Amino acid sequence: MSRLPDAAKDLLNRPLPGWATTVRPDGSLHNTVVWIGLDGDDVLISTAAGRAKERHLERDHLPRPGG
């Protein structure tokens, strides 16, 4: 896994919300505002057990980063 650049860490360490987009079972997109944090070079997003984004990510096994 690649190292997260310092400029990205600086941005992600700011107290700003972000967006997480997951894919519903019918193929439509599910967008939610999330809090973002860092654990070393790992980007963390907030969710709660049983929420739609958690279920979608569990079903798909991995997030689908944009860009």
Task: For 46-61, write each residue's pLDDT tens digit.
Answer: 888 888 888 888 887 6
Please state the pTM of the whole predicted model.
0.63
Nearest by Cα to 17 from 34, 37, 42, 38: 34
Would you kindly state where each structural domain of the chain is located, as residue ranges?
6-60
pLDDT at 67: 42
Query: Which one-letter amino acid corresponds to residue 2?
Result: S
Q: If pLDDT is split at 50, 70 and 90, which confidence band does 1 have?
A: low
Task: For 7-46, write each residue's pLDDT tens digit.
Answer: 999 988 888 888 888 888 899 999 999 988 898 888 888 8
